[in-house]
């Protein structure tokens, strides 16, 4: 009995059979059994159970595992290393291996790695196992690995199909693991069309998640499914482009209708200005009107006070006529300036409306592309008043609007144009998983009851700050991937928390401030630049929350918030009481196709107070064709060669015959005629000034040999061909210093 007790004390394992197995294991691995009790097993790093016949693994507790590695280091001299296995450690960063040029196999499974990095120099890498880590993004980290054939990414946190698309840059990839049976699946594996997406984008793949995928029929089905989806979304995008073109065309028609009266006013006022200038030129006996201050002073009658006769009255009228004409000219120019300001304002309004249409189309286009790229796992549903969720969201937004918060901007209310519900399977899965985990960790068992959990959920507005990097694309990124984590916000200089609010004014404050500051830098802008906007409504689990009793900021660890993005996306427009007239294009998008908007009625007498003020315009004969006699009569010259200036403004000329005989002509005014081309003035070497505004010019073809021309006014014509006409100007009028081509029907040149 004593001997048996002694043998039992010498055994390392309580069971005699297990202890015998341990002795056999030591013998087969060259280990001294007697040294195990003295810590001899600590130096053992590898055990072999090959052909032992053991029914189970025993005795490993006497071989203590060494401390797991936390860094990859000490491999500087192993430049010919071809295989490396560092799985089951605490490595958090892939580093210090870029010099291992011969490495073909690398296993880093079951570590704490977050990013795939430091592998760009390993061009011979064929087998990479990073399963069981914390990797969320693939990105471009594997782009240079053309030889990579086996890749295991199972047990990570990859959640979007877009990340898997990066693998198309691996031409040699044959085996891919994303939900290997030995590891937990990636979240992306729970998405619809996961296998279809992978098989379509990786046609050379032979095994996926330990399954053979070489079957031709399987690949053809995947390809057919993706092709159908592409055709469907391509059709939707083409329809979207047609709708955009139709809306832009309607905006252009609306613009033309709005400026038709202003253009006619400009035409009348400009013509009247030129007539007044012509009269002043005749009075002062000068060829062309320059500026009122440059005109010579008329001789005064210094013979003493008048006798009140008819002759004296005539002299007095002659003295007052130029002054009255100058006063009329000043008022005409002031009114003309107002008309041009209105035209510029209308152009700016039209530009802003066009930009809104293009931005709206681009947003919808991005949504369609997101649906396609995510395989339908992110889907956008436009609601209507018949939907229960539509009414709930509509009422929620209106209830969160407070007039007092917007009084400083003169806003009286908001109008909701559209509400879109976003179905994001991945974000919903993430929300429900975290919600389950959080409620299980709560102290009280009452928290696990569904009604209680539901009461602790709230719908809040996400605060979008356009001033942050990527502010323009922040909305789509939010809807597809969710918000940035609190650490990222902290790195950007913000509070370490996801910005959410139950106040509409607090939610909109960053956007309104950003747009107002940007509008201040522009000469013309919408008086309400923040008129149109988007609001993201999020479902949030508040957990156990308390009222804030001080001004100390709470971070994400103090207030537990789990946002679910996004149940709805309203498009809002504030109703603003403003002094400045709003853009006439603001509500164009609400007009249905086929519906006509009432056009503004022009007032033909709006400028009569200036056009018919004293002194009245003198009637004169209008010429419809030119002869040498008419040219001499108009210029009051003795012969054609002596004419240096010629004013043919305000006639009905369609051709400029006989002008080629005016060899000394330097200045020519043919504005307000019916000219369609100017080939009659070709090769007039002395010309340095031409005013051909307000005609019907449709081409500059024929204008050649005008090498001395310095001033050319072609505004308010029908020129369209930008490339050809500018080529003529560059080739035949190389000395131009003043060129006016405004208000023509220029067409965008084809690429």
Cα–Cα distances in angstroms (integers) from residue 609 to residues 332, 335, 602, 604, in the given order: 10, 11, 16, 12
Residue 313 has pLDDT above 80, yes or no: no
Beta bridge partners of 175: 150, 207
pLDDT at 6: 42
Of the chain, the percentage scoring pLDDT greater than 90 comes to 28
Q: What is the pLDDT of residue 9?
A: 47
Q: Is the pLDDT of residue 34 over 60?
A: yes
Residue 434 has pLDDT above 80, yes or no: yes
Which of 286-300, 312-326, 641-655 has the least mean pLDDT? 286-300
Q: Are 705 and 732 in contact, with CB atoms under 8 Å apart?
A: yes
Where residue 634 falls among pLDDT bands split at 50, 70, 90? confident
Arithmetic mean of pLDDT, 229-235? 94
Q: Which whole-number Å values give the CA distances from 561 to 65, 335, 489, 524, in the listed order?
A: 40, 61, 15, 42
pLDDT tens for each residue of 496-551: 888 888 888 888 888 888 888 888 887 666 677 888 888 889 888 887 776 665 55
Q: Are 479 and 378 in contact (CB under 8 A)?
A: yes
**Chain-wide mean pLDDT for the chain?**
81
Q: Do 155 and 180 form a contact (C-beta atoms < 8 A)? A: yes
What local confidence, expressed as pLDDT, does residue 534 receive?
87
Most confident of the ranges 60-74, 296-310, 343-357, 432-446: 343-357
* CA gap 164, 186 in Å, rounded: 11
DSSP 315-383: HHHHHHHHHHHHHHHHHHHHHHHHHHHHHHHHHHHHHHHHHHHHHHHHHHHHHHHHHHHTTTSEEEEE-
Torsion of CA 450, 455, 456, 461, to 10 degrees: 130
Q: Helix 310-373 to helix 216-284 angle, to the nearest 10 degrees?
A: 170
**Locus of tokens 């040294």:** 35
User: In DSSP terms, which residues pair with 176 in a beta bridge?
Assistant: 151, 208
In the predicted model, what is the mean pLDDT of residues 191-214?
A: 92
Helix axes of 310-373 and 474-481: crossing angle, nearest 10 degrees: 20
Identify the weakest region by mean pLDDT among 261-265, 269-273, 333-337, 491-495. 491-495
- The answer to whether 400 touches 502, Cβ cutoff 8 Å, is yes
pLDDT at 18 over 90: no
pLDDT in tens, 126-159: 999 999 999 999 999 999 899 999 999 999 999 8
Higher pLDDT, 485 or 135: 135
> Per-residue pLDDT averaged across 670-677, rounded?
91
Cα angle value 413/419/420 (rounded, 5°): 155
Domains of the chain plus CATH, in order, are: 2-62 (no CATH), 68-214 (3.80.10.10), 377-547+554-586 (3.90.228.10), 628-740 (3.80.10.10)
Q: Residue 311: its pLDDT value, please?
A: 54
Dist. CA 175–CA 161, nearest whole Å: 18
pLDDT top residue among 365 and 38: 365
How would residue 489 be classed by pLDDT, with cut points 50, 70 and 90?
A: confident
The CB-based long-range contact list for 637-645 (8 Å cut-off, 24+ gap) reads 644/287, 644/686, 645/287, 645/288
Q: Residue for token digits 């002073």? A: 297
**DSSP code for 15:** S
Name the burial class of residue 190, with classes exposed (0-12), middle (13-18) and buried (19+) by CB atoms within 10 angstroms of its CB.
middle
What does the pLDDT look like over 679-726, one tens digit per residue? 888 888 889 999 999 999 999 988 888 888 999 999 999 999 888 888
Characterise 110 by phi-psi region: left (phi > 0), alpha (psi -120 to 50), beta (else). left
DSSP secondary structure code for residue 35 in this structure: G
pLDDT for 570-587, tens place per residue?
Answer: 555 544 443 444 556 655
Q: Is the pLDDT of residue 669 over 50?
A: yes
pLDDT in the model for residue 567: 44
Structure confidence at residue 94 (pLDDT): 92
Give 92's pLDDT tier (boundaries 50, 70, 90): very high
């Amino acid at each position: 009995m004593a001997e048996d007790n002694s043998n039992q004390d010498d055994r390392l394992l309580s069971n005699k059979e297990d202890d015998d197995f341990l002795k056999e294991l030591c013998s087969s691995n060259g280990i001294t059994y007697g040294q195990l009790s003295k810590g001899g097993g600590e130096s053992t790093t590898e055990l072999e159970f090959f052909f032992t016949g053991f029914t189970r693994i025993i005795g490993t507790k006497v071989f203590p595992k060494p401390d797991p590695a936390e860094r990859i280091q000490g491999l500087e001299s192993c430049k010919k290393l071809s295989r490396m296995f560092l799985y089951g450690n605490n490595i958090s960063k892939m580093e210090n291996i870029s010099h291992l040029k011969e490495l073909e196999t690398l296993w880093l499974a079951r570590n704490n790695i977050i990013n795939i990095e430091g592998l760009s120099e390993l061009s011979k890498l064929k087998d990479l196992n990073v399963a069981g880590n914390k990797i969320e993004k693939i990105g471009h980290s594997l782009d240079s690995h053309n030889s990579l054939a086996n890749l295991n990414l199972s047990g990570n946190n990859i959640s979007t199909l877009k990340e898997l698309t990066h693998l198309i840059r691996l031409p040699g990839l044959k085996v891919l693991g994303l939900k290997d049976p030995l590891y937990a699946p990636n979240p992306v594996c729970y998405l619809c069309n996961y296998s279809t997406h992978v098989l379509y984008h990786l046609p050379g793949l032979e095994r996926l998640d330990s399954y053979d995928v070489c079957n031709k029929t399987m690949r053809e089905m995947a390809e057919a499914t993706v092709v159908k989806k592409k055709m469907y979304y391509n059709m939707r995008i083409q329809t979207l482009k047609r709708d955009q073109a139709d809306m832009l065309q309607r905006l252009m028609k609306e613009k033309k209708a709005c400026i038709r009266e202003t253009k006619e006013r400009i035409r009348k006022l400009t013509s009247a200005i030129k007539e007044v200038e012509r009269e002043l030129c005749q009075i002062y006996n000068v060829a062309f009107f320059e500026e009122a201050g440059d005109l010579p002073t008329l001789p005064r009658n210094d013979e003493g006070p008048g006798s009140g006769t008819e002759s004296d009255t005539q002299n007095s009228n002659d003295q007052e006529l130029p002054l009255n004409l100058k006063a009329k000219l000043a008022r005409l120019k002031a009114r003309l300036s107002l008309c041009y300001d209105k035209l510029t304002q209308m152009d700016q309004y039209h530009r802003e409306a066009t930009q809104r249409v293009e931005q709206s189309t681009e947003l919808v286009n991005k949504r369609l592309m997101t649906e396609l790229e995510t395989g339908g796992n992110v889907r956008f549903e436009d609601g209507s008043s018949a939907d229960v969720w539509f009414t709930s969201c509509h009422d929620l937004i209106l209830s969160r609007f407070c007039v007092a918060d917007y009084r400083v901007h003169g806003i009286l209310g908001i109008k909701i144009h559209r509400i879109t519900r976003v179905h994001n399977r991945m974000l919903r899965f993430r929300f429900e998983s975290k919600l389950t985990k959080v409620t299980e960790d709560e102290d009280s068992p009452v928290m696990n009851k569904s009604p209680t959990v539901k009461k602790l959920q709230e719908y809040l507005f996400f605060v979008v700050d356009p001033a942050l990097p990527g502010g323009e694309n922040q909305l789509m990124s939010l809807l597809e991937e969710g918000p940035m984590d609190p650490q990222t916000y902290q790195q950007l200089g913000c509070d370490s928390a996801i910005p959410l609010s139950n106040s509409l004014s607090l939610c909109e404050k960053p956007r309104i401030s950003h747009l107002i500051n940007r509008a201040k830098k522009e000469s013309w802008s919408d008086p309400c630049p923040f008129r149109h906007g988007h609001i993201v409504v999020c479902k949030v689990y508040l957990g156990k929350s308390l009222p804030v009793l001080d001004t100390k900021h709470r971070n994400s660890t103090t207030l537990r918030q789990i946002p679910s993005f996004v149940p709805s996306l309203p498009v809002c427009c504030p109703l603003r009481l403003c002094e400045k007239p709003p853009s006439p294009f603001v509500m164009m998008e609400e007009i249905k196709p086929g519906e006509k908007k009432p056009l503004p009625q022009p007032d033909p007498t709006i400028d009569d107070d200036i056009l018919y003020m004293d002194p009245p315009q003198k009637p004169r004969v209008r010429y419809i064709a030119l002869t040498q006699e008419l040219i001499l009569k108009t210029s009051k010259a003795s012969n054609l060669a002596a004419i240096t200036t010629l004013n043919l403004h305000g006639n009905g000329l369609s051709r400029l015959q006989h002008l080629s005989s005016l060899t000394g002509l330097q200045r020519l005014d043919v504005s307000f005629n019916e000219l369609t081309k100017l080939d009659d003035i070709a090769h007039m070497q002395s010309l340095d000034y031409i005013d051909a505004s307000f005609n019907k010019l449709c081409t500059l073809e024929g204008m050649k040999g005008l090498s001395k021309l310095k001033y050319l006014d072609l505004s308010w014509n029908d020129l369209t061909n930008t490339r050809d006409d500018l080529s003529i100007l560059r080739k035949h009028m190389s000395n131009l210093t003043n060129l006016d081509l405004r208000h023509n029907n220029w067409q965008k040149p084809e690429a």
